[in-house]
Structure 1
Amino acid sequence: MSRSNFVYTSHPARVIFGFGTTRQLPEEVARLGASRALILSTPPQKGQAEQLAALLGGAAAGVFAGAVMHTPVHVSEQAVALASQKRVDAIVAIGGGSTTGLAKAIALRTGLPQVVLPTTYAGSEMTPILGETNEGIKKTQTTPKVLPQVVIYDVEQTMSLPITLSGTSGMNAIAHAVEALYARDSNPVISVLALEAIAALARALPKIAQDPGDRDARFDALHGAWLCGTCLGAVGMALHHKLCHTLGGSFDLPHAETHTIVLPHALAYNAPSIPEVIASLETIFGEEPALALQKLARSVGAPISLAEIGMPADGLDRATEIALTNSYWNPRPLEAGPIRQLMQRAFDGATPWVEGRKTA
Structure 2
Amino acid sequence: MTGTSRGGGHGTEARDGSLPRLEHEGLPQRVVFASGEAAARVRAEVERLGASRVMVIAAAAEAGLARAVTAGLPVALRWDEVVMHVPVEVAERARAAAAVHRADVLLSVGGGSTTGLAKAIALTTGLPIVAVPTTYAGSEATSVWGVTERARKATGVDARVLPRSVVYDATLTVSLPVPMSVASGLNALAHCVDAMWGPRADPIDRVLAGEGIRALAAGLPAVAVDPAGLPGREQTLYGTYLAAVAFSSAGSGLHHKICHVLGGRYDLPHAQTHAVLLPYVLAFNAPFAPQAERRIAAAFGAGSAVDGLERLRRDVDAPRALRDHGVTETELDDAVPAVLDALPQGNPRPVTGADVRRLLRAAWRGADPRRTNTEEERRR
- TM norm structure 1: 0.95
Amino acid at match of 1:350: A
Separation of aligned partners in 2, 1:131 and 1:295: 32
Please give the per-residue CA displacement for 1:232-291, whole angstroms capped at 9, x wherever unaligned: 111111210011001111000000000000000011111221011111222233133224
How far off its partner does 1:28 sit? 1.1
1:253 paired to 2:268: yes
- Counterpart of 1:239 in structure 2 is 254
How far off its partner does 1:111 sit? 0.7
Alignment map for 1:182-193 (pairs within 5 Å)? 182-193=197-208
How far off its partner does 1:133 sit? 0.3
Please give the per-residue CA displacement for 1:114-136, whole angstroms capped at 9, x wherever unaligned: 10000111111111101110111
How far off its partner does 1:315 sit? 0.9
Distance 1:300 1:342, change over 3 A: same
Q: How large is the RMSD of aligned CA atoms in angstroms?
A: 1.7
Contact kept, 8 Å, 2:211 with 2:299, in 1: the verdict is no
Using the TM superposition, name which of 286-295 and 86-95 deviates more: 286-295
The partner residue of 2:222 within 193, 207, 226 is 207
Using the TM superposition, name which of 322-331 and 235-244 deviates more: 322-331
Q: Secondary structure at the match of 1:303?
A: coil
- Counterpart of 1:338 in structure 2 is 355
Contact kept, 8 Å, 1:49 with 1:63, in 2: the verdict is no
Alignment map for 1:51-66 (pairs within 5 Å)? 51-56=68-73, 59-66=74-81
- Counterpart of 1:26 in structure 2 is 43
Q: Secondary structure at the match of 1:279?
A: helix
Separation of aligned partners in 1, 2:193 and 2:158: 22
Q: Secondary structure at the match of 1:117?
A: strand
Alignment map for 1:211-290 (pairs within 5 Å)? 211-285=226-300, 286-290=302-306
Count of aligned pairs: 357
Contact kept, 8 Å, 1:181 with 1:191, in 2: the verdict is yes
The partner residue of 1:77 within 66, 88, 92 is 92
Separation of aligned partners in 1, 2:342 and 2:165: 34
Please give the per-residue CA displacement for 1:160-201, whole angstroms capped at 9, x wherever unaligned: 221111111100000001110112321121111110110110
Amino acid at match of 2:28: P
Distance 1:234 1:113, change over 3 A: same
Q: Secondary structure at the match of 2:137?
A: coil
Contact kept, 8 Å, 1:7 with 1:185, in 2: the verdict is no
The partner residue of 1:108 within 94, 116, 123 is 123
Contact kept, 8 Å, 1:21 with 1:153, in 2: the verdict is no
Separation of aligned partners in 1, 2:114 and 2:303: 36
Separation of aligned partners in 1, 2:327 and 2:220: 26
The partner residue of 2:151 within 114, 136, 146 is 136
How far off its partner does 1:356 sit? 8.4
Q: List runs of 5+ in structure 1 lacking aligned partners.
A: none
Contact kept, 8 Å, 2:297 with 2:306, in 1: the verdict is no
How far off its partner does 1:224 sit? 0.5
Separation of aligned partners in 2, 1:294 and 1:129: 28
Separation of aligned partners in 1, 2:217 and 2:348: 24
Amino acid at match of 2:325: I
The partner residue of 2:365 within 340, 348, 354 is 348
Q: Secondary structure at the match of 1:54?
A: coil
Separation of aligned partners in 1, 2:174 and 2:342: 41
Using the TM superposition, name which of 252-261 and 150-159 deviates more: 150-159
Alignment map for 1:321-336 (pairs within 5 Å)? 321-329=337-345, 330-336=347-353
Using the TM superposition, name which of 21-30 and 1-10 deviates more: 1-10
- TM norm structure 2: 0.90
Amino acid at match of 2:290: P
Separation of aligned partners in 1, 2:100 and 2:208: 42
Using the TM superposition, name which of 128-137 and 324-333 deviates more: 324-333
Please give the per-residue CA displacement for 1:304-346, whole angstroms capped at 9, x wherever unaligned: 1000111222211111121012453122111111211010100
Taking only the aligned residue pairs, the percentage that are identical comes to 41
How far off its partner does 1:214 sit? 2.2
Contact kept, 8 Å, 2:297 with 2:308, in 1: the verdict is no
Using the TM superposition, name which of 27-36 and 93-102 deviates more: 27-36
Using the TM superposition, name which of 248-257 and 264-273 deviates more: 264-273
- Counterpart of 2:316 in structure 1 is 300
Separation of aligned partners in 2, 1:196 and 1:50: 34
How far off its partner does 1:41 sit? 1.1
Separation of aligned partners in 2, 1:337 and 1:16: 45
- Counterpart of 1:320 in structure 2 is 336
Separation of aligned partners in 2, 1:41 and 1:299: 32
Q: Secondary structure at the match of 1:8?
A: strand
Contact kept, 8 Å, 1:41 with 1:67, in 2: the verdict is yes
1:310 paired to 2:326: yes
1:43 paired to 2:60: yes
